[in-house]
Amino acid sequence: MDNFVVSARKYRPATFTSVVGQSALTTTLKNAIKSNHLAQAYLFCGPRGVGKTTCARIFAKTINCQNLTPDFEACNECESCVSFNEQRSYNIHELDAASNNGVDDIRTLIDQVRIPPQIGKYSVYIIDEVHMLSAGAFNAFLKTLEEPPSHAVFILATTEKHKIIPTILSRCQIYDFNRITVRDTVEYLQYVAKQENVNIDVNALNIIAQKSDGGMRDALSIFDQIVSFCGKDISYQSVIENLNVLDYDYYFKLTDAFLQGDVNSSLLIFNEVLNKGFDAHQFVTGLSSHFRDLLVSKDAQTIALLEVGADIGEHYKTQAQICSPGFLFQTLKIANDCDLNYRQSKNKRLLVELMLIRLCQLPDEKNNNISSGNDKPPIQKIEVKPQVPALVVEKKEAETQPQAQTQTQPQTQPQTAVAPPVNVKVKENKAPAHASQAPGRISINVREVDKPETVYQQGQKVETALKNSPFTEKELTEAWRKFTKTIPDEVWVVNFINANTPKLTAGTNFEITVTNMLQEKELMKQQSDILSFMQNELNNSLVKMSIKVEENDGNYRSSSPEDIYKSMAAKNPALVKLRSELNLEID
C-alpha cells in the first residue's frame, strides 16, 4: 500500500504558473528573473496558507535552475531542480522564526550566509514567521541584511506585517499575498479531485472553500478529511454534515416565511435547526450572511461579491428578486442587533425567536409604508434601546408590537410629546405622587409611565393631541417657577434651579445658563421631567431645552464646595498654600 501523502503536500505547486490565486505577484517575480533584477531581500506578507513559503521555494529553485524554460520557469529536470524537488538542495535554508527566534539562532544563520554555494548561483534563506524574532535577533540580523554577500537572497515571510520593524521593511521588496477567492479554491479542488478520482459535488467544494477562508492549505486538509470520511463519492449533504455547516436551504425557507409573515413556520424551522445540534449564535450569523448575500445578488454590479456555486447562486438571484432593498436593510439590521445582543442575553433562545418574529412582521409594515407613502423605515418603532438589557426591551416590544400595527396612522409624531391613550388612566391616579418618587428610579419602564404623569394636573382635561399654543417669556418663567416647586431633591439643586431663569431663544426653545458642570449634570438628569412639565404647562409640545455652561467666578452661591474653593483660590492664591500646608480637605 502506498504511503498516504496529504494533498497539501502532494499538490504543492512546483512552478509559478501553478500557484493558485496570486498571478499578479508571480508574474512580477518571473519578470524580475527574466530581467535579472533580483533584490537581495524580499518580504512576503499575507494570511496563512496562501502560498508564501511555496512561492519562496519556487523562487529559490527558479533562480538556481541551470536550464530555465522559455517561460522563465524552473525546468524541474536539471540537477539543481531535482535536488530542490527531492528536498536535498544545499542552496536553500529555511528557518522557522516561530521556534528559533533567539539571537543565537540568527548568528548561526549569519555564519552560514558567508559561505558561497557549491552548486548553483544563489543561496536562498527563507525565514518564516519573521515577526516572531526577538528584538535582539532582529538587530543582529539587520547588519547582514544591510550588506549581504552577492550570492545571498533573503526571503522573509510573515502573517503580521505590522509587527516588522521599519528598518527591516525599508530593506526589503514587499509582496502582499491575497486571500485566495472561493472561486479559485473551488477550481483547484476540482483539479485535485479529478487527479484523485474523487467524485464530488461542486456545491460541496464551495462549502469547503468557504470554510477554508482563503487558505489553500486549509482547503486541501478539509478535502482530505472529507475523503477519508466519505470515500470517493461525496455529496453536498455529506459535506455539510461533516463540516457542521447549516444547509442554505434553511435560510431560503426562512426568508420565504419572513416574506409571508409566517411566524409559526419560522419558529418551527429554527427549532429543527436546534434539534440538529446547531448552535443558535451560528444560526444568527449565518442568517445575517444570507441577507447580505441576497442584497448583493440584487444587483449585477455586486453579484461578483457572492461566493457560492452556480445553482445556489441562481437560487439567491431568484429570492433576491422578491425582496425589496428596504426589506433587506431591515432584516440585516435586525439580525445584526440580535448577533450583538446574543452574548449578554440570559435567554438566548427567546432572543432568537423574538428576532424571527420581528422579521416576520416586516412585510406588513413595509406595505403600510408603501400605502401611506412614508419612506421612514418602520424598524424605528422596534429599536432596541441600548442601555437596557436586551431581553426586557424585546419582551416589551413583542407585547406592544401588535398594537403598533393596528394603529392606522403610522405618520411621524414627536415621540416625547404624545402619550399613548392606553396609559392615561394609570397616570391620573398616580399624578400627585410624582414629587415623592425616589430619585433613583430611572429604568425605561418607569420613565415611560412617568413622563406623561407630570403632565396632568388634577381636574384638568386630558389632552393627548399635538399642542402648540404660543407662549411668552413671562409665561415661560412662571412655568419654570412652578417646576422648581416639584423638585424633591437636595436644597442646593432647588436653589440653583430657582436662581437660573430660562431665556426664550429660538421659537419654542429655551436656554438655561449654569455656571459649572455639576449643575449641568443635575439639569441633564432632570431634563425629561423638566421638558414634559414645561410642555404641558405651556400647552406646547414643541418646547425644547438647551443648557449653556458659563464659567462665572462671581457667582458661587449655588456651586458645590469644590467650585467655591476653586473660585476663591483664583482670587487669593495664598489659599492654595494654606490648604496644602495645613493639609486641609474640602468638606
CA distance 427 to 452: 7
Task: Give the Cα separation of 354 and 47 in Å (integer).
Answer: 38
Site string for Zn ion, 10-49 (x = CB under 5 A): ----------------------------------------
- Phi (first) and psi of residue 116, to 5 degrees: -70, 155
For CA atoms 46, 50, 53, 59, give the dihedral sign. negative
Query: Which stretch in 71-79, 225-233, 438-446, 549-557 sits in contact with Zn ion by CB under 5 A?
Result: 71-79
Find out whether 246 and 278 touch, Cβ atoms under 8 Å.
yes
In the chain the first and final C-alpha atoms are separated, in Å, by 89
What Rg value do the Cα atoms of the chain yield, rounded? Answer: 36
Query: Minimum Å distance from CB 120 to Zn ion?
Result: 10
**CB of residue 14 to Zn ion, shortest distance in Å:** 11
Q: Which is nearer to Zn ion, 72 or 342 (CB)?
A: 72
**CB under 5 A: which stretch of 58-66, 167-175, 350-358, 462-470 binds Zn ion?**
58-66
CB of 84 vs Zn ion, minimal distance in Å: 8
121 near Zn ion, rule: CB under 5 A: no
Give the interface segment with Zn ion, choosing from 62-70, 210-218, 237-245, 358-366 (CB under 5 A).
62-70
Range 420-426, long-range pairs (CB < 8 A, 24+ positions): 421/464, 423/448, 423/449, 423/452, 424/452, 424/462, 424/464
Q: Which is nearer to Zn ion, 65 or 220 (CB)?
A: 65
Please state, in angstroms and rounded to a whole number, the distance separating the CA atoms of residues 555 and 579: 22
Q: Among the residues of 261-324, which ranges form H helices?
A: 263-275, 280-297, 310-321
Contact track, Zn ion, 143-182, x by CB under 5 A: ----------------------------------------
Binding window for Zn ion (CB under 5 A); candidates: 72-80, 105-113, 224-232, 245-253: 72-80
Q: Is residue 75 a contact point for Zn ion (CB under 5 A)?
A: yes
Residue 85 C-alpha cell reads as 524537488
What's the min distance (Å) between Cβ of 76 and Zn ion? 6
How many residues at the interface with Zn ion, by CB under 5 A? Answer: 6
Identity of the residue, 78 or 243, whose beta carbon is nearer to Zn ion in the bound complex: 78
Provide the minimum distance between the beta carbon of 73 and Zn ion in the complex, in angstroms, as a whole number.
9
> Rounded to 5 degrees, what are φ and ψ at 410?
-85, 10
Nearer of residues 16 and 456 to Zn ion, judged by Cβ: 16
Q: Tell me the backbone φ, ψ of residue 131, rounded to 5 degrees.
A: -65, -15
Contact flag: residue 65 with Zn ion (CB under 5 A): yes
Q: Rounded to whole angstroms, what are the CA distances from 395 to 270, 358, 382, 391, 447?
A: 19, 11, 11, 6, 17
The residue (of 65 and 209) whose beta carbon lies closer to Zn ion is 65
Q: Single out the segment in contact with Zn ion by CB under 5 A; choices: 75-83, 126-134, 431-439, 507-515.
A: 75-83
Task: Name the one residue in this structure whose C-alpha cell is 431634563.
Answer: 527
Q: Which is nearer to Zn ion, 67 or 271 (CB)?
A: 67
> Which one, 65 or 97, has the nearer CB to Zn ion?
65
Packing angle of the helix pair 202-212, 182-195 (nearest 10 deg): 120
What number of other Cβ atoms are within 10 A of residue 173's Cβ?
16
75 versus 449: smaller Cβ distance to Zn ion: 75
Distance CA(382)–CA(46), nearest Å, equals 42
- The residue type of 130 is V
Instruction: Pick one of 63, 81, 216, 497: the residue that binds Zn ion (CB under 5 A).
Output: 81
- 220 near Zn ion (CB under 5 A): no
- 398/496 Cα distance (integer angstroms): 43
Decide if residue 243 touches Zn ion (CB under 5 A).
no
Stretch that binds Zn ion, among 41-49, 64-72, 87-95, 452-460 (CB under 5 A): 64-72
If the CB atoms of residues 18 and 513 are measured against Zn ion, the closer one turns out to be: 18
Rounded to 5°, angle at Cα 53 from 49 and 56:
145
CA contacts within 13 A on the Cβ side of 343: 1
- In the complex, the smallest distance separating the C-beta of residue 248 from Zn ion, rounded to whole angstroms, is 47
Nearest-10 crossing angle of helices 202-212, 216-230: 130
Minimal distance in Å, beta carbon 101 to Zn ion?
Answer: 33
Closer of 74 and 493 to Zn ion (Cβ): 74
Nearer to Zn ion, 88 or 474 (CB): 88
Instruction: Candidates 76-84, 251-259, 260-268, 500-508: pick the segment binding Zn ion (CB under 5 A).
Output: 76-84
State the minimum distance, in angstroms, from the CB of residue 117 to Zn ion.
Answer: 15
Grid cell of 318 as nine digits: 431568484
Nearer residue to Zn ion within complex by CB, 81 or 417: 81
Q: How far apart are CA 356 and CA 255, in angstroms?
A: 10
Q: Give, as one character, the DSSP assignment of residue 420.
A: P
Choice between 78 and 504, CB closer to Zn ion:
78
78 binds Zn ion (CB under 5 A): yes
Backbone angles phi, psi at 313, to 5 degrees: -60, -40
Q: How many CB atoms lie within 10 A of CB 230?
A: 17
For residue 92, state whether it binds Zn ion (rule: CB under 5 A): no
* Chain centroid, CA 14 distance in Å: 39
Site for Zn ion in 524-553 (CB under 5 A): none
Nearest to Zn ion of 49, 120 (CB atom): 120
> Which range in 29-37, 60-68, 153-161, 278-286 contacts Zn ion by CB under 5 A?
60-68
* Whole-number Å distance between alpha carbons of 265 and 234: 31
Q: Which stretch binds Zn ion (CB under 5 A): 63-71, 206-214, 313-321, 390-398?
A: 63-71
The 10 Å Cβ neighbour count of residue 493 is 20
Span of 70-78, 245-253, 315-323, 357-365 interacting with Zn ion by CB under 5 A: 70-78
Residues in contact with Zn ion by the rule CB under 5 A: 65, 67, 74-75, 78, 81
